[in-house]
């Protein structure tokens, strides 16, 4: 083989390798886009759905203040999820404004802490959200299992 043909062969090998790398890149990019889409779906379940419904759930068991709600969520999730009171108190104010909960001062004179409880409207809302969120939570669990399997199989 002369030098010219050897050079052409090398160029063809390089082009073939570039083609393989490009195909692998496209495949990996598609996988990453799928994971990103799944991640966004899961994130929305947490931020838009889980905290509000879980606060309603805790209040459906018994009236509580914001600190106790965070503590109860932490206990019920074995410490895996302890929401900050910085997220719970604004949520309680919003739920109170929507008339799903009512907050009453433990001592009306000292106004030390508000104890929140579900209103009848809040009980209906809680049941409605449970029904709406069930398929989304089940979907999120499937996504987590897929990602876990992909990462750690």
pLDDT single digits (tens) 1-31? 566 565 656 778 788 888 888 888 888 888 8
Q: Which residue in the block uniquely carries the two structure tokens 């019920």? A: 76
The pLDDT > 70 percentage for the chain reads 86
Q: What is the pLDDT of residue 53?
A: 92
Q: What is the pLDDT of residue 43?
A: 47
**What is the residue-averaged pLDDT of the chain?**
85
Q: Which residue in the block uniquely carries the two structure tokens 């009453």? A: 104
Q: Residue 109 pLDDT more than 70? A: yes
List Cα–Cα distances, 94 to 40, 52, 55, 103, 119, in angstroms.
24, 10, 12, 11, 14
Please report the domains of the chain, with CATH numbers, ordered by start residue: 37-152 (1.10.10.10)
Please indicate, yes or no, whether the overall pTM of this predicted structure exceeds 0.85: no
Burial label, 130 (beta-carbon count in 10 A; 0-12, 13-18, 19+): middle
Mean pLDDT of 76-86: 87
Q: Which tokens in the block code for residue 127?
A: 């049941």
Q: Give tens-digit pLDDT for 120-149.
A: 999 999 999 899 888 888 998 899 899 999
């Amino acid at each position: 083989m002369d030098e010219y043909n050897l050079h052409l062969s090398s160029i063809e090998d390089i082009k073939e390798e570039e083609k393989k790398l490009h195909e692998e890149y496209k495949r990996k990019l598609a996988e990453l886009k799928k994971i990103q889409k799944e991640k966004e779906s899961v994130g929305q379940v947490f931020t838009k759905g889980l905290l509000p419904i879980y606060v309603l759930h805790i209040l459906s068991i018994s009236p509580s203040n914001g600190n106790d709600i965070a503590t109860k969520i932490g206990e019920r999730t074995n410490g895996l999820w302890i929401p900050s009171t910085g997220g719970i108190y604004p949520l309680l104010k919003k739920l109170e404004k929507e008339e799903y909960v009512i907050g009453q001062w433990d001592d009306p004179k000292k106004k030390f802490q508000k104890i929140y409880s579900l209103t009848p409207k809040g009980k209906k809302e809680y049941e409605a959200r449970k029904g709406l969120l069930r398929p989304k939570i089940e979907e999120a669990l499937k996504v987590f299992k897929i990602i876990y399997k992909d990462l750690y199989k």
